[in-house]
Amino acid sequence: MDFDDLDDAIEQRLAEGDTDVLANMSGVAFEKKTLKTFTGTLPTIPRNKGLPDLNALYPTGDVKMRVFIFYGPGERADDFMFYLRGQHTGAGKWSWLDAAVYEWPGHGTRGAETPAANLEALCADAMECLKPSLEQVGEGGEYEGAPFAFIGRSVGCQLMTMLAKNILIKFGMVPCATVVMDRAAPQFPLLSEKGLSELQSNPDKVVQAFNYEMFNYIDKALYAKDLSLNETLDSSYHKFGCDMLLLKGKGDQKLLDLGKKRPKFTIAKLKIKGSDQTMDLPIESTSSVKELMTAVDSFFSVRKGADLKALSPSGSVIAGATPVSQVAQTGIVVEGLDDFKHPHYTWPHPAVIIGGGFIGVKVAMQYALHKNENFVLFDRHAQAGGDAWHYSATKFSRCQTDYGAFNIWWGHEFNYTGDGGFGASPQSGGRAFLTKSFKGPGAPPEGSGAGTGVDYHPVKAQILEGVRHALKEYNIEKYSQFETDVVSLKIVGDPEAEERYYDLGLRDLKKAKDLVQAEKLKDIKALSAPVKADSTIKASVIYHLPGAYEVTRIVDYPGEDSFIAAGGQIGYGMGSGQGGEFVWDDGRMKDGRCAILGNGAFAVENVRSCVENAAAKVYIVTRRKSLLCPRLPCWFCHQAPDPTPAWFLCKMFQTMYKTAGIEDPFSFYAVVKGNEFTDVTIRQSSRFGIGDVTFLAHAYGLLEYRVDTLARCSGKTLHLTSGDKLEDMGHICKALGLLGDPRVDKLHAITHRVGNCINGDFRRIINADATGMDARRFTTFSAGPGAAGFSKMWYYMHQHPWEWRAAVENGMMKLLPVHKMSDTQPDQTVYMTNVQYEMWAGGVMGSYFPLMARAHGDEASYSHCLIQTMHPTKLFLQYCKADWDRYQDMFRKNCKGCADKSVDYPYTYEMIEDWFKEYNESLGMKIGPDGPTEEFKQSTIELFKKSAEGLAAEIVHGLVKEAKLVSNLKKDDEPFAQVLAIQTHELKKSLTATEAESSLDYDVKYVDAWKDWVSDGYTCKVAEVDCRSKELLVSGDSWKQIIKFLQEKRPQ
C-alpha cells in the first residue's frame, strides 16, 4: 500500500502500529492475509458482555463455522433465542454452526450501560467483544483459518460493514459470507432531511412511524437513539471479499399498497388523557361517539362498564350522539382508561370461576394479569384454598414435591407483576416468606427446615397462606365471593347459539351453617337435597374447577366392629373425616402397629404421620407395589429443561431404593421395558408418593410392604387374602383413593366431556387432576406447570373465540377425545379422567392452535430458571440431608428398636454432578448444578414479556372484526391492518429518503446497490421472503435461506 499521500500525523500513527486511523478512510484497499486451510472443529464462541450466551441450555455439535449477528434498532440479543436454539434442537440441521448475537450497550443484558454515542463507538465496542474470537481464528491462532460469517439487519448492516473493514485492517481477515437485510447499500440514508430534523425535535413521531403497532410498548427513547446511529458510509468505504446474500421482504410493498388504498371507513384517532398512548380504530363514518366508546370500553377497560368520557383535544366533552366522522381526525381524548396495552375480548356477561382452590385462583390470576377483571370467583369455603387443602389435607400434610413446582406463581409473567421475582424465591418480595423456616401448625416445635433456615416443602398452613397472598397481590379478593355455593345452572337460549348465556343460582352458605359439617364429610345425601337459590348471576363463560380430592372412596371390610371392640382404630387417612376420622396424635400411635391400605400419595404421607407419632411398625397393604419418588430426583426433574426420561428417573431412584432395602425400581410392575435400556415407560394407576421419610422408615425397619389385600378383620388382627395375618395391630388407616363430586355432574347435566369442554361446550370448561401415570418422559410431578398451562390455554381460547370457531370448522371436535361414564370405575364421576385422556386432548389442542404456544412461552428455560432460583442445588441438597438426619434423630429417640440405628443420606453432590453430566450427554444439553446465569434468567423473562406484548397488540385485529365496527366485511378483510398501513404510510412518507409518496424505508434500486459492495470474483445473491423486511431476522423462511447459503461455505 502506498502511503505517500498521507499526512505526517497519519504516517506517525501507522509507524506506531495504530491502524484505527485507516478504518474510516474510503478509497483505500487492503489485502487479506493467506491463512491456513481449516479442516478441524471449533470450540464455542468465547462469550462476554457483548456476546451473551443465549443458548445456555444446549451444547454445540462439531462446529465448523461461526456466525455473528448484528441486529437493528430497538432489538436485544434474546429476541433471537429461539432461532439460535434451532441450531441444536432442529434435528441437527445446523449444529455445525455456532452463532452469537452482538448486544449493543444500553440494550438487553447490557441495559444498565450507556448507549453508544455514534456508529464508530458502537463498532469499537463490537470489535472489543469479538476480539477473542477473532484472535482464535486469525494468523497464528489455535484455529487459524476457521470461517466466520456476518449477518446484519438495518443499522446492524452498517455496523458489520464498518466492523468488516476494521477486521481486515487489524487481522487481515474477511468473513466467509455476509447476509444483509432491511437496509439499502451503506451510502444511502434512511431518513430524509425532514426525518433527521424530526428525530431531533420530535423523536416520538419518527419512532411511531417505524413501530406503529407496537408504539405503546417499546422504549421510545432508546429506539430514537438507535435510529441516530444509522449513519451513511461512503460508496468507496469498503468492499466485501466474500459472497453476499441480500434478503428482501415481500411484505413491504404489500403494506405500501394497502396504505395507499382509500378506506371505506373512518379512522378514529384516540389518545388516553394524561398519557402518550394512542390507538387508531376503524369505524363506520355513520357511527356515533357513544358506539365508539362502547367498543373502547369493551376492548380496553379493566372491567366492562367503566365511566369513560370522550373529550376533544381542548378538554371539552364530546356528546355521545356526535357522528365519529366529525371528530375522528382532530382526535378524541379518552378519560377513565388506564392504557391501551391490555386489550381483551369482553363477553356480554362475566366469566364465572367455580372453585377457589389452587387452579381456580390460578385462572383468576390469569385474568388479573391481563387487566381483565370481567370475572367472578365463587367458593363454598370461607377462604381460598379448595377442598384439597381445607378438608382432604391432614394437620400433618405438607407439599410433597418441592414448592418451586407447586407454587401458585409458576409462570413467566409473575416475575414482572405483583411482588415480582421467580415464584416465592428470596428475591420475590412479599412471597418470600413461603420458603423460609416456619413455626406454626403442622411444623416441628423448633420450626421447619431442620435448621437450614429454609423450607422447600411447606406445610398446610403455609400453602393456604400462599394462595390467599396471591388473591391480595393481584386484587382478586374484590371479585371473589366465598361461602357461596352454585346450586343451579340454566342455559338461556339455544345451547349452540353464540348469544346463549348461563343463569347460575347461588346459595349464601353463611345462612346455612348447618351444612358446614355435611360439606366437610361430603354427606352427598344431605348436600343434594333440593335448595332454593338466594340470588342469580348471568355468565358467558364458566370455569368449573372442583379438583380431584373431593370425596373419599369408602370401603367397609368384614369384621371391622370386632377390630374396634378390641381397642383398635379404623379411619381414613384424609383430614375431612369422611368415613371416619383417623387420629395420629392422641398418644395411641406410640409403639403401636398400623396397616395403611392403599399405595398412592396419601398412603405415603400417612406413613410419615405414623412414624412422626412414634409408631413401632407400619405396613402398606397394597394390591400392587407402586413406585415411590425421593425428593432429589423429583427436584432434578422439575429443574431439567427437557423432560427427564423414565429410565433416567429410575436410575436416580436406585441409590435411594438400595439404601432403603427396597428392590430395584426397574423391577416394579409400573416400569414397562423395551429392548433397549433407555426404552422405558412408567405406567401405574396412582401418582408417585414423594418424600424421603418413607425410604428412611423402610431402612429402619419401621415400614414393611405387603403386596396383598385385606379380606377381613378380627380383634387386633388383619386377615389378608393370601392367608397371611398381621397380628397385634392397633390401627387401620384407609387410603383407597378419591372420587369426584357427583354434584358437579348433576349441576351441568354432564353426559360427556370433549377435551375440557362440558358436553362439548367450549364456554363451560372443567378441570380436575387426572388419575394415574403413563409416560416415557417427565416434566413435572406437581400442579404448578399444569395449572399454568391450563389457565393460559383457556384464557387464550376465550380471548380468541374466532380461532375456536375456525378450528371447529376444520374438524377439531372430531379429533378430541370424548369421555363418558367409566366402565371400569362405575362409582367415578363423568368429569374425572385419566392421564392418557388429558395427554390426547392436549396434543390435539396444540396442533390446532400453534400460535397459542406464544402464550405459554419457553417453559423449558423458565422451569430451569425458577427451580434453580427457588431451590439452588447445594442448598436443596443440604436441606434434604438435614431433614433426613432430623428424622433419624426422631426415630432413634421415639421409635421402638431404633436407638442404635443410623443410615447415611444416600445422595451426594458428586452424584448430582454425575446426574447432570449423564443427562447432558443423553439429551444433548449443557446445564449444570450451578444453574443458569442471571443474564439467562433475565433473557428468559424479557423474551416472554416481549412476545406477550406482541400477542396483546395483535388481538386488536380480531376484536375490531368481532365488534363489527366496520360493516360488510369480506372474510379476508382486515380493517385494523389497513389502519396501521394507512397511518404508517402517512407518517413515514415524508420522513424517509425515498421517492415522493413512498413510505418504504428505501427505494428498491438503493437496496439492490449492495451488489456494488462485493469485490470482483464474488457474487451478491438476492432472495425474497414473504414477510416485511423488519421481520426478516425472525422469519423461519429467512433462516432456511441463510442456512442454505452458509452451508455452501462450510469447510469439510
Confidence class for position 92, pLDDT limits 50, 70, 90: very low
Percentage of the chain lying above the pLDDT 70 cut: 96
Confidence class for position 59, pLDDT limits 50, 70, 90: confident
- What pLDDT, on a 0 to 100 scale, did the predictor assign at position 825? 66
Q: What is the pLDDT of residues 422-444, one digit of tens each?
A: 999 888 889 999 999 999 999 99
The amino acid sitting at 554 is I
The pLDDT of 500-513, averaged and rounded, is: 93
When mean pLDDT is compared across 58-67, 118-127, 264-273, 1038-1047, the lowest value belongs to: 58-67
Residue 573 to residue 609: CA distance in whole angstroms:
10
Confidence class for position 24, pLDDT limits 50, 70, 90: low
| Grid coordinates of 631 | 425428593
- What pLDDT, on a 0 to 100 scale, did the predictor assign at position 2? 47
Residue 964 to residue 803: CA distance in whole angstroms:
16
Confidence class for position 85, pLDDT limits 50, 70, 90: low
Other CB atoms within 10 A of residue 810 CB: 11
The pLDDT of 946-956, averaged and rounded, is: 95
578 or 11, which is more confident: 578
The pLDDT of 846-868, averaged and rounded, is: 93
**Beta strand 593-597 with 97-101: parallel, antiparallel or unpaired?**
unpaired
Residue 859 to residue 866: CA distance in whole angstroms:
10
- What pLDDT, on a 0 to 100 scale, did the predictor assign at position 93? 60
The amino acid sitting at 131 is K
The pLDDT of 104-130, averaged and rounded, is: 97
The answer, yes or no, to whether residue 603 has pLDDT greater than 70, is yes
Q: Cell 433407555 belongs to which residue?
A: 678
Residue 284 to residue 282: CA distance in whole angstroms:
7
- What pLDDT, on a 0 to 100 scale, did the predictor assign at position 478? 94
The pLDDT of 783-799, averaged and rounded, is: 95
Q: Cell 389435607 belongs to which residue?
A: 393
Q: What is the pLDDT of residues 290-336, one digit of tens each?
A: 999 999 999 999 999 999 999 999 999 999 999 999 998 899 999 99
Asked if residue 74 lies in contact with residue 42, where contact means CB atoms within 8 angstroms, the answer is: no
| 3-state DSSP assignment of residue 481 | strand
The answer, yes or no, to whether residue 417 has pLDDT greater than 60, is yes
| Grid coordinates of 442 | 403442622
Q: What is the pLDDT of residues 485-495, one digit of tens each?
A: 999 999 999 99
Q: What is the pLDDT of residues 967-988, one digit of tens each?
A: 988 888 999 999 999 999 999 9
Confidence class for position 91, pLDDT limits 50, 70, 90: very low
Residue 632 to residue 877: CA distance in whole angstroms:
7
Asked if residue 705 lies in contact with residue 893, where contact means CB atoms within 8 angstroms, the answer is: no
Residue closest to 768 by CA, chosen among 505, 386, 229: 386
| Grid coordinates of 146 | 476457521
- What pLDDT, on a 0 to 100 scale, did the predictor assign at position 16? 52
- What pLDDT, on a 0 to 100 scale, did the predictor assign at position 835? 87
The answer, yes or no, to whether residue 462 has pLDDT greater than 60, is yes
| 3-state DSSP assignment of residue 317 | strand
Going from the C-alpha of 575 to that of each of 71, 390, 606, the distances in angstroms are 58, 8, 11
998 or 83, which is more confident: 998
Model-level pTM? 0.93
The answer, yes or no, to whether residue 12 has pLDDT greater than 60, is no
- What pLDDT, on a 0 to 100 scale, did the predictor assign at position 61? 75
Q: What are 645's strand-pairing partners? A: 777
**H helices of 677-782, where?**
693-699, 742-748
- What pLDDT, on a 0 to 100 scale, did the predictor assign at position 99? 92
The pLDDT of 830-852, averaged and rounded, is: 90
Mean pLDDT value across the chain:
92
Asked if residue 153 lies in contact with residue 217, where contact means CB atoms within 8 angstroms, the answer is: no
The pLDDT of 674-701, averaged and rounded, is: 94
The answer, yes or no, to whether residue 811 has pLDDT greater than 70, is yes
| 3-state DSSP assignment of residue 274 | coil
The answer, yes or no, to whether residue 14 has pLDDT greater than 50, is no
- 82-114: buried (b, 16+ CB within 10 Å) or exposed (e) per residue? bbbbbbbbeeeebbbbbbbbbbbbbbbbbbeee
The amino acid sitting at 751 is T
| 3-state DSSP assignment of residue 754 | strand
